[in-house]
């Protein structure tokens, strides 16, 4: 093993810990440690929080090395004035001796609905010196009880005009709703609470409220719908006011894609809106959706759905419809409609926003009048079209990820989605069209019907996705690995649509559980995904059957309850990720009952002789030999589903044992632990050939799972590693041979035996199968299939993230060497342990944890290894300098380490 390693580290450390930033030893508290970035429920100043004990966090900053918090005090007040006077009339925690600065539960007075709460924090440092108060932050409460809702559900429960309701491509026109209201005295505060299904836009006095796109987030609407809270004080006119709302179809009235399952039908779009008014004189009032509202389905958006597109007729625009004084006498009265779900919860995730605009790089005209724009990047969102022409001219856009040989769009892999936006001009000067209730995954845009000749300024690409905080970046000396990383980030961001979706382009776009098991841990280095994944867990638990069964797709728009281990066990893995990466322990206690229900259901219904024979997808999308097929058929390449099911379930039981112990359910922990031990024995009995010392048919995945989950008896571990190396290096000529399942642990298993050079080679391969192969064939994101340029288009997305496996984890944890210590989760203690590879002369990476900025920047110059490390205040790190036997334990600060190594960089 390790024969190819082209470097050997000489083991001495030239320079020890050199703090390069020295804090001035000034004891003036304002300089020593500052409390910054206050977050409530992991969000900055969130509105509409409905938890009774919100989690409060902050970041500490200090220029001093080895600085940490020893105590804190939180003040929460009902007004900014009270807080300014240091009065915590809602909560004064008093000084609490604790180092915790992440997710401290509010323990003040009972919170009331629809109120603002202001808070600030001070902290004591390691010498018990008190900081200044932080800046003031706030949160507002949402509707804490059902009875706070006075509004009623309104809509129109039927199709009208050209609405299509009975086809797979069903579409309704957008419904426009309006109401006016008067205000008779000065308003001090106005708050709007809105749930518009499938998706809404809210206007007050002609202006769009907020910058959300496609809100609210997706849910299983039969169980839960999300409302959004806006502070609309500034939108209210002091006397006459008008509310306008556009309702799109979203996934509520979704196309009924039949294959593989009929998409769930929730009914016609509907609205619930309440504006709480607080007057300066202390009195209050509400404006609500009710039977007095007016509606028209006859506005300019004449058809819309997320997959097929949006059709907009500007001749049907209704100037002033969302302002006071509009004549709505020919609009209809709304219908009072049923509430969609029992649960109505606030949306506690970052909304979808436009995060970037992209200009096309090229236009071609493969057929007269058919223009193809190349955006230069496979992106998710839509375009803004600029056009001038005669009234009634119809301009069409269609969207695709790639082109055919003749230069026209390649639409086969989009399957039944029509991906068409249509705009009819009103003929009044320069017109601009931006759709609202659709999104596309595309690199190429086809434009037809355009009056005149378009140029590069005719369309602009708008990138949309959940606007999550960016929490990391990675770069290194190898351009191919950098290009792969860039593609991964484009793929990850594009597929956040209030759920982690599988793909953005074809007639699917679902939250498939299996795609995001281990991958989510990699994503967590790049974006703050904590609230998104907690929301997704709620989606999973909402759709869980009473017997414990979990759908493979969540929200369960396709009801796929087939009780397999790898997809449906993902929630257990996600909870573990949230604990490790964010130090979130509440998610363990909140999720445990649901996870237990599923685990017990699987045990009681399927476990046989301690083997779990429940697998649906095998080692999904492993690279087949035949370039045309999607799934390999060759039995030598396929990993036995019973092995996958049993190994994975064993791993799940070990996590459950841990979670049960954490929640003080010691009997249950013991039960899971004993069962896991029995399964390990049964697994080895059934799948380990002790003569050849191989698992099953000896695929890389069989070895990886057995090693990664600790199933291999000690005496065989080395041989099983050797099997994995032989498979990868010799039989597959240093190429990947696993699918989604094995890949989740592939790189880390190689790293464990010091085979990072091999991992590097496999990951940057430029021939099939390899990420480099994708790039050499034009990929700007990550494909669903290793042979995505040649395989059957039936299942061949060019923007999936599942094949990333543990690549990103390996890049951050192993190459950069930034890893959360599972013993002190949430990066309270950081394990810094870079793996040097002969292909890299430098790596620079940062990750912003719950405690602040972590940096690792190393470079090899000749024989010299130089490493600059930053540890945030209130964190510590265990630092493994390459070549130095004993790790160092350091506190916060920036350090440089050097060692002399004997390394040959290729």
Element (DSSP H or E) covering residue 35: strand 34-40
Query: Strand, coil or helix: what is 805?
Result: coil
Please state the closest distance from residue 617 (CB atom) to ligand BGC, in A. 5
| 53 part of the active site | no
* Element counts in the chain: helices (H) and strands (E): 16, 44
Backbone CA torsion sign across 13, 14, 16, 20: negative
Please state the closest distance from residue 143 (CB atom) to ligand BGC, in A. 36
Bridge partners of 141, per DSSP, are 49
Q: Residue 408 or 795: which CB sits closer to ligand BGC?
A: 795
- Catalytic: which of 431, 446, 784, 813? 784
Residues in the chain: 906
Q: How far apart are CA 338 and CA 329, in angstroms?
A: 26
Burial 105-125 (b: 16+ CB within 10 A, else e): ebebeebebbbbbbbbbbbbb
- Give the list of residues 6+ apart from residue 653 with CB closer than 8 angstroms, or none: 599, 672, 673, 675, 676, 679
Q: How far apart are CA 759 and CA 765, in angstroms?
A: 10
| 469 part of the active site | no
Q: How far apart are CA 848 and CA 627, in angstroms?
A: 41
Quickly count: other Cβ atoms within 10 Å of residue 31's Cβ.
16
The DSSP 8-state label assigned to residue 496 in this structure reads B
Q: How far apart are CA 728 and CA 707, in angstroms?
A: 15
Quickly count: other Cβ atoms within 10 Å of residue 431's Cβ.
18
Q: Residue 759 or 782: which CB sits closer to ligand BGC?
A: 782
Q: How far apart are CA 400 and CA 374, in angstroms?
A: 10
Q: Are 449 and 394 in contact (CB under 8 A)?
A: yes
Which residue spans within 593-730 are E strands per DSSP?
688-689, 694-695
Q: Residue 68 or 617: which CB sits closer to ligand BGC?
A: 617
- Catalytic: which of 41, 306, 310, 508? 508
Q: Applying CB under 6 A, which residues contact ligand BGC? A: 502-503, 508, 512, 514-515, 617, 795, 800, 802
Please state the closest distance from residue 795 (CB atom) to ligand BGC, in A. 5
Burial class (CB in 10 A: 0-12, 13-18, 19+), 26: exposed
The alpha carbons of the chain give a radius of gyration, in whole angstroms, of 29
Q: Residue 508 or 523: which CB sits closer to ligand BGC?
A: 508
Residue 719: both structure tokens together: 């041989």
Burial class (CB in 10 A: 0-12, 13-18, 19+), 63: middle
Element (DSSP H or E) covering residue 637: none
Q: Residue 727 or 800: which CB sits closer to ligand BGC?
A: 800
The DSSP string of 297-358 is S-SSEEEEETTTEEEEEGGG--TTTTSTT---TTSEEPEE---S-SEEEE--SPPEEEEEEE
Q: Are 123 and 78 in contact (CB under 8 A)?
A: no
The catalytic residue positions are 508, 784
């Amino acid at each position: 093993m390790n024969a190819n390693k082209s470097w050997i580290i000489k083991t001495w450390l030239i320079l020890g810990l050199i703090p390069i930033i020295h804090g001035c030893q000034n004891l003036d508290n304002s300089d020593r440690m500052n409390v910054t970035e206050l977050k409530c429920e992991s969000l900055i100043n969130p509105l509409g929080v409905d938890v009774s004990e919100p989690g409060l966090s902050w970041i500490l900053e200090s220029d001093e090395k080895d600085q940490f918090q020893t105590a804190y005090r939180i003040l929460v007040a009902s007004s900014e004035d009270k807080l300014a006077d240091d009065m915590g009339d809602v909560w004064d925690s008093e000084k609490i001796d604790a180092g915790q600065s992440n997710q401290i539960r509010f323990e003040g007075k009972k919170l009331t609905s629809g109120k603002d709460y202001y808070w600030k924090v001070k902290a004591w440092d390691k010498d018990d010196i008190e900081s200044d108060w932080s800046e003031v932050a706030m949160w507002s409460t949402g509707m804490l009880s059902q009875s706070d809702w006075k509004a009623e559900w309104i809509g129109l429960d039927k199709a009208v005009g050209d609405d299509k309701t009975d086809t797979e491509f069903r579409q309704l026109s957008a419904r426009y709703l309006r109401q006016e209201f008067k205000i008779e005295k000065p308003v001090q505060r106005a708050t709007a609470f809105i749930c518009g299904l499938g998706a809404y836009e809210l206007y007050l006095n002609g202006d769009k409220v907020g910058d959300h796109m496609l809100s609210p987030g997706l849910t299983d609407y039969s169980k839960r719908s999300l409302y959004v809270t806006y502070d609309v004080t500034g939108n209210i006119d002091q006397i006459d006011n008008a509310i306008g709302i556009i309702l799109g179809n979203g996934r509520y009235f979704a196309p009924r894609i039949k294959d593989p399952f009929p998409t769930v039908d929730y009914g016609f779009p509907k609205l619930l809106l309440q504006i709480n008014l607080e007057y300066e004189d202390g009195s209050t009032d509400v404006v609500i959706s009710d039977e007095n509202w007016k509606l028209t389905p006859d506005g300019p958006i004449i058809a819309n759905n997320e997959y097929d597109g949006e059709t907009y007729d500007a001749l049907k625009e209704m100037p002033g419809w969302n302002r006071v004084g509009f004549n709505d006498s020919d609009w209809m009265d709304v219908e009072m409609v049923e509430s969609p779900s029992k649960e109505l919860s606030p949306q506690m995730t970052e909304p979808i926003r436009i995060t970037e605009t992209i200009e096309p790089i090229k236009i071609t005209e493969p057929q007269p009048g058919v223009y193809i724009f190349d955006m230069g990047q496979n992106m998710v969102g839509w375009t803004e079209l600029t056009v001038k022409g005669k009234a009634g001219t119809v301009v069409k856009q269609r969207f695709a990820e790639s082109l055919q040989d003749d230069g026209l769009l390649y639409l086969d892999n989009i399957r039944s989605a029509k991906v068409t936006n249509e705009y009819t001009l009103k003929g009044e000067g320069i017109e601009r069209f931006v759709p609202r209730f659709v999104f596309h995954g595309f690199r190429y845009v086809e434009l037809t019907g355009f009056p005149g000749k378009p140029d590069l300024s005719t369309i602009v690409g708008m990138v949309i996705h959940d606007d999550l905080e960016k929490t990391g970046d990675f770069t290194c000396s190898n351009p191919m690995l950098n290009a792969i990383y860039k593609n991964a980030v484009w793929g990850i961001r594009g597929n956040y649509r209030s759920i982690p979706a599988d793909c953005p382009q074809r007639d699917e776009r679902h939250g498939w559980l299996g795609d995001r098991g281990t991958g989510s841990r990699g994503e967590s280095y790049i974006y703050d995904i904590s609230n998104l994944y907690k929301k997704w867990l709620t989606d999973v638990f909402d759709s869980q059957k009473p017997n414990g069964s979990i759908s493979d797709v969540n929200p369960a728009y396709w009801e796929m309850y087939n009780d397999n281990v790898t997809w449906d066990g993902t929630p257990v893995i996600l909870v573990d990720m949230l604990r490790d990466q964010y130090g979130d322990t509440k998610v363990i206690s909140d999720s445990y009952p649901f996870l237990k229900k599923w685990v017990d259901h699987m045990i009681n219904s399927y476990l046989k002789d301690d083997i779990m024979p429940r697998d649906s997808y095998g080692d999904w999308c492993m690279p087949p030999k035949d370039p045309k097929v999607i799934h390999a058929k060759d039995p030598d390449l396929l990993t036995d589903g019973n092995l996958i099911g049993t190994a994975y379930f064993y791993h799940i039981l070990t996590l459950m044992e841990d979670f049960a112990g954490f929640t003080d359910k010691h009997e249950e922990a013991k039960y899971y632990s004993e069962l896991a031990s029995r399964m390990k024995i049964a697994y080895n009995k059934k799948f380990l050939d002790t003569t050849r010392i191989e698992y099953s048919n000896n695929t890389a995945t069989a070895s990886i799972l057995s090693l990664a989950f600790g199933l291999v008896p000690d005496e065989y571990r080395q041989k099983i590693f050797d099997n994995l190396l032989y498979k990868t290096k010799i039989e597959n000529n240093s190429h990947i041979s696993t699918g989604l399942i094995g890949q989740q642990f592939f790189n880390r298993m190689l790293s464990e035996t010091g085979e990072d050079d091999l991992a590097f080679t496999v990951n940057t391969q430029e021939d099939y199968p390899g990420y480099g192969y994708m790039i050499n064939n034009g990929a700007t994101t990550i494909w669903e299939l290793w042979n995505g340029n040649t395989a059957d288009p039936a299942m061949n997305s060019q923007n999936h993230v599942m094949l990333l496996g543990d690549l990103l984890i390996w890049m951050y944890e192993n190459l950069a060497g930034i890893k959360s210590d599972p013993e002190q989760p949430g990066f309270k203690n950081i394990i810094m342990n870079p793996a040097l590879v002969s292909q890299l002369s430098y790596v620079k990476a940062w990750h912003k944890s719950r405690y602040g900025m972590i940096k690792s920047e190393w470079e090899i110059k000749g024989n010299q290894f130089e490493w600059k490390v930053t540890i945030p205040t209130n964190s510590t790190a265990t630092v493994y300098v390459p070549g130095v036997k004993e790790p160092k334990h350091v506190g916060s600060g920036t350090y440089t380490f050097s060692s002399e190594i004997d390394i040959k960089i290729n």
